[in-house]
Amino acid sequence: MPAQGDLNGRPYTYFVAMADGIRIDITLWRYIQLFSMHIDELSGLSIDGKQLTREQCRAVLQCPDEDLMLLLHQAYKVRHHYFGNHVHVQVLRNAKSGLCAEDCRYCSQSRVSQAPIEKYPLVSKEALLTEAQKAAQIKATRFCISTSGTRPSEAEIDRLCDTIKTIKKETGLPLCATLGLLTESQAQRLKAAGLDRVNHNLNTSRRYYGDICTTHTFQERLDTVARCQAAGLEICCGGIVGQGETDADIIDLLLSIREIRPQAVPVNFLVPIEGTPFGGLDTGLNPRKCLKILCLARFLNPASEVRAAGGWEYHLRELKPLALYPADSIFVTGYLTTGGTSVGEVCTMIADMGFESTIEDLGD
């Protein structure tokens, strides 16, 4: 039978069950089990290296909005344990745009997109070197390059290796690249040329992958990550939320990423782009949901950089500063083909929140 109660000033409705004369307050017991215990203990579990159960992961994503600040505090304790109050501000340099044969439904560069974007082949070594030198002048901590396409050709690998060697020699900057699917030999050549890190996202869960792309598989992405790790490259591996996936898919994605143990985990929030198959998609995201996803990414990957990546400011809106509690890294300005917030604006926000910032690369 239903009954009313009060817990720490919060009214709740619960159902009372009788079993052999013992009264069980079912909903109250679940509330205490899933929220009071979990929110108070999540940071300790994460710092101790213990993996959250799926039930705990679900409780984070479904945390009541009135408890969001408690959840953020727990995520901040983990973030502070590993990264203090430091924030990496990262800008992604697009070295090749469009011209992609894949059918990723979220992407303006894919062959199924009608979005009006600039398209160009791999830019010259000289152009990338100039950008890297600018990054070095402002004491950026990393220079990042991204190319479109399924996988680089051998000719493109030749050019990229030459460019990487030159940038490394001239600037000494740590280098990261997003290049698509890679073979074992390509990963080895890139590492030998001086590349330090590869970004290769899983994008969504294994179960849902066929709903966002059919021209390559989830397993192919995992295989590329494994080849890069075997070559000695650091790994940046995350995903995109807001593509119509369920909470279970978000959990599966973040658990898969945890198994990889990447150095960085970028969490992208889909910004539907007109002209793409997902252009009119209802993402199901709001600022509070985005923060809960970032918190779960932090709990499951405590020692990895957790990056509020593409679309974070679009979806977090006035709650943008709160992203700094779970995330120690953020993207600014051009994310490949969509714009973002300027470096100056973000650095001011970071300072206002009492955090310190370091810039990775330089925005246009």
**Angular region, 77: left φ>0, alpha ψ -120 to 50, beta rest:** alpha
| Catalytic-role residue among 63, 161, 228, 236 | 236
Closest Cα partner for 364 from 145, 92, 148, 126?
A: 92
Q: Is residue 144 annotated as a catalytic residue, yes or no?
A: yes
| Catalytic-role residue among 57, 63, 144, 213 | 144
Cα gap 313→72, rounded to integer Å: 17
| Catalytic-role residue among 57, 63, 104, 290 | 104
Q: Who contacts 224 (Cβ-Cβ below 8 Å, separation ≥6)?
A: 180, 181, 182, 187, 200
| Catalytic-role residue among 57, 63, 100, 237 | 100
Q: Is residue 107 annotated as a catalytic residue, yes or no?
A: yes
Rg (CA), the chain: 22
Q: Is residue 142 annotated as a catalytic residue, yes or no?
A: no
Q: Who contacts 181 (Cβ-Cβ below 8 Å, separation ≥6)?
A: 150, 151, 216, 220, 221, 224
Cα gap 30→40, rounded to integer Å: 15
| Catalytic-role residue among 57, 63, 93, 107 | 107
* Residue keyed to tokens 């159960």: 53
Question: Which two structure tokens, joined as six digits, stand for 256?
Answer: 């898969």
Q: Is residue 63 annotated as a catalytic residue, yes or no?
A: no
Cα gap 131→301, rounded to integer Å: 32
Q: Is residue 347 annotated as a catalytic residue, yes or no?
A: no
Closest Cα partner for 179 from 205, 165, 159?
A: 159
- Helix 154-171 vs helix 125-137: crossing angle, to nearest 10: 30
| Catalytic-role residue among 161, 176, 213, 237 | 176
Q: Is residue 23 annotated as a catalytic residue, yes or no?
A: no
Residues assigned a catalytic role: 100, 104, 107, 144, 176, 236, 307
